[in-house]
Amino acid sequence: MVYAKFENYRIDYKGKLTQDSFDSLILEASREIDKNINTRLTQGKINNLPKEAQEQLQYTACALVDLIERKKKRENRKLSSFSIDGVSKNFNDISIEEYNQTKKDILANLPDELTAYL
Which is more confident, 86 or 114? 114
d(C-alpha 41, C-alpha 37), whole Å: 9
Would you place residue 81 in the very low, low, confident or very high pLDDT band (cuts 50, 70, 90)?
low
45-58 burial code (b ≥16 CB/10 A, e <16):
eeeebeeebbebbb
The DSSP bridge partners found for residue 81 are 90
d(C-alpha 23, C-alpha 99), whole Å: 21
pLDDT of the residue at 116: 72
Confidence (pTM)? 0.82
pLDDT of the residue at 87: 73
The DSSP bridge partners found for residue 83 are 88
Name the percent of the chain lying above pLDDT 70.
86
Per the prediction, the chain carries an average pLDDT of 88
Mean pLDDT, range 49-59, rounded to an integer: 96
H-helix or E-strand spanning residue 81: strand 81-84
pLDDT of the residue at 86: 72
Mean pLDDT, range 18-46, rounded to an integer: 95
Q: Is residue 62 pLDDT above 90, yes or no?
A: yes
The DSSP bridge partners found for residue 84 are 87
Q: Where are the alpha helices (DSSP H) in the chain?
A: 6-7, 19-37, 43-47, 51-76, 96-107
Would you place residue 96 in the very low, low, confident or very high pLDDT band (cuts 50, 70, 90)?
confident
Task: Fill in the amino acid letter for 40.
Answer: R
